[in-house]
Amino acid sequence: MEKFIRCLPKVELHLHIEGSLEPELMFELAERNGISTPYSSVEEARSAYHFHNLQSFLDIYYQGANVLITERDFFDLTWAYLLRCKADNVMHTEIFFDPQTHTERGIAFDTAINGIYHALRQGEKELGITSRLIMCFLRHLSEEAAFETLEMAKPHLNRLVAVGLDSSELGHPPEKFERVFAEARALGLKTVAHAGEEGPPSNIWDAINLLHVSRIDHGVQSSEDPELIKTLALSRMPLTVCPLSNIKLRVFDKMEDHNILTLLDQGLCVTVNSDDPAFFGGYMTDNFIALNKALSPSPSQLAQFTRNAIEASFVSDERKQEMMQNLDDFWDKHGIH
């Protein structure tokens, strides 16, 4: 089964590029840019990657991002992630970036997006991995700050497919960003939002009804609301679930407790993603393997996660058909019927 998982074509829809910063690259960029870190070694940095909730993770996440200074840094970060995608048989990825994490410390919006975007284009050309870029607003910051960020993004709208909402969910409900999301939609951007990770099911309802999202990022708390489950199943509203992240941040105590297969069996458009893989213990294949060990999904269930992700992706119908054909060809060759 592990060989099946490693070879399975995959699509990732929930990846924070800053969260793919491995300690080795963090040290390399710190040295390149003359920046001191609070860690004396890669091993010490790795040992610091222990969290008890979302906020304790975010504290170290933002600290690590301080080494990202130049366009080359953002390119190298993104390229390193794309190489992991290639190794994991990821056909397509839709990545988040947090411009406010960088603009708040004096790094130009253009610097961040240029480095990321050029790496994504090179990834398509050299690695055959298609991609889309989603700009997230940090929900612990103000609505005004989000509007300022959207203004900075206007010269780059052709490089963005959507806006998202991430950072601390508790205390920062979707309604806080209703107006800025409306403005983003008016500019032609799609919308997604983190909801129902640590927050209640009401955040999922509000993301749908107030922010008019095309996908819910996380969404695992939907199981607390039977009516919401029915609505999500009927609408095929995608949930970009991140199994290893959910365990690392104590959303579930252990993988055996995770509800992802239950949600899948209830007819929801559930997908598997890695979230912040450098911090949470694994990229796409690692997440699939962890699910397999704990929950023993069938091969068809594992393949369904990819089918759902293709369906939920922000690409042309032609590209979706191409990816679905790749998956069908794989299934015909390797599927356990």
Write out pLDDT tens, residues 223-240: 999 999 999 999 999 999
Tell me, yes or no, whether 84 lies in a domain.
Answer: yes
Tell me, yes or no, whether 42 lies in a domain.
Answer: no
Q: pLDDT-derived band of residue 64, with 50, 70 and 90 as boundaries?
A: confident
Tell me, yes or no, whether 169 lies in a domain.
Answer: yes
Does position 333 have pLDDT exceeding 60, yes or no? Answer: yes
* Alpha helices (H) in the chain, listed in sequence order: 2-7, 23-33, 42-47, 54-64, 71-87, 99-103, 109-127, 143-153, 178-186, 201-209, 226-235, 243-248, 260-265, 277-280, 284-295, 299-312, 317-334
Tell me, yes or no, whether 67 lies in a domain.
Answer: no
Count of CB atoms situated within 10 Å of the CB of 193: 32
Tell me, yes or no, whether 50 lies in a domain.
Answer: no
Out of 197, 256, 318, 322, pick the active-site residue.
Answer: 197
Average the pLDDT over 279-293 and give the result: 96
The verdict on whether residue 92 carries a ligand-binding annotation is: no
Average the pLDDT over 93-108 and give the result: 96
The verdict on whether residue 258 carries a ligand-binding annotation is: no
Active site residue 197: yes
Write out the residue range of the structural domain in which residue 236 sits.
2-19+78-334
> Whole-model pTM?
0.95
Q: pLDDT-derived band of residue 63, with 50, 70 and 90 as boundaries?
A: confident
The verdict on whether residue 16 carries a ligand-binding annotation is: yes
Q: Structural domain tally of the chain? A: 1
The verdict on whether residue 275 carries a ligand-binding annotation is: yes
Q: Give per-residue pLDDT as tens, 169-221.
A: 888 999 999 999 999 999 999 999 999 998 999 999 999 999 999 999 999 99
Residue 131, CA atoms < 13 Å, CB-side half-sphere: 31
The CATH number covering residue 98 comes to 3.20.20.140
Amino acid 41: pLDDT: 84
Tell me, yes or no, whether 225 lies in a domain.
Answer: yes
Tell me, yes or no, whether 215 lies in a domain.
Answer: yes
